[in-house]
Every structure is written in C-alpha cells, then in structure tokens.
Amino acid sequence: MSIENVPRDLRGLRACLVCSLVKSADQFDEDGCENCEKFLNLKGDPDKVYECTSANFDGMIAVCEPQDSWVSRWQNINNKVRGIYAVSVSGSLPRHVISEL
C-alpha cells in the first residue's frame, strides 16, 4: 500500500464523496484524490476539498490488493488505488460540482 494514501492521523479524517477514499483534509489538499483528481481537482483547493469530501462516514476498509480482494469487489473499489476506504459516506456533491462533471 502506498504510504501517501494512508491517513497520517485518526483525527480530522474525510472521505471522498465520489470514491470513498479516506485521508485527512490536509492530505486531500496536498495530493488531491488519487482516484478522482482528473475531474474533481481537489489538489491545492481547500474549499473544494470540504465540498467534495465528508467527515460523516461509517467504517473503514484497508485495501492492499484491490484486484484480488472480495471486499474490494463487494464495495466496488476493486479498480481504485490502494488505501483506506469508507464503508459508507454521507453527503452529496454540490450542484455546481456535478454540473462541471
């Protein structure tokens, strides 16, 4: 698992509203979302990080081998990067972000 995708602290964690990747707000601001950066453009935009991620999520799954994991297939994250994922995330993307997609 890539160390960049693992939260550095258990406080202040947020989950991506698109792919459920869990990192700190600072990590999303520094690196963006490794799965969704192409279209969300979170890197370097703290306002967008707070709009497109949620602190309200349940459970965490550590995914080391996404292609081989039945849990990854069950959560539909088997084509995502290695990392920590939320089991479920509460929240929705703002309308202006959805219209940009």
Measure CA 22 to chain center. Answer: 5
pLDDT of res. 95: 92
- The predicted model scores a pTM of 0.88
Strand 53-54 relative to strand 22-24, pairing: unpaired
- Per-residue pLDDT 10s for the chain (101 aa) are 455 677 777 888 999 999 999 999 999 999 999 999 999 999 999 999 999 999 999 999 998 888 888 888 888 888 999 999 999 999 999 998 888 87
Looking at residue 1, what is its pLDDT? 47
Give the amino acid at 61.
I
CATH number, domain 3-100, options 3.30.40.210, 3.40.228.10, 3.40.50.300, 3.40.50.970: 3.30.40.210
pLDDT value of residue 74: 87
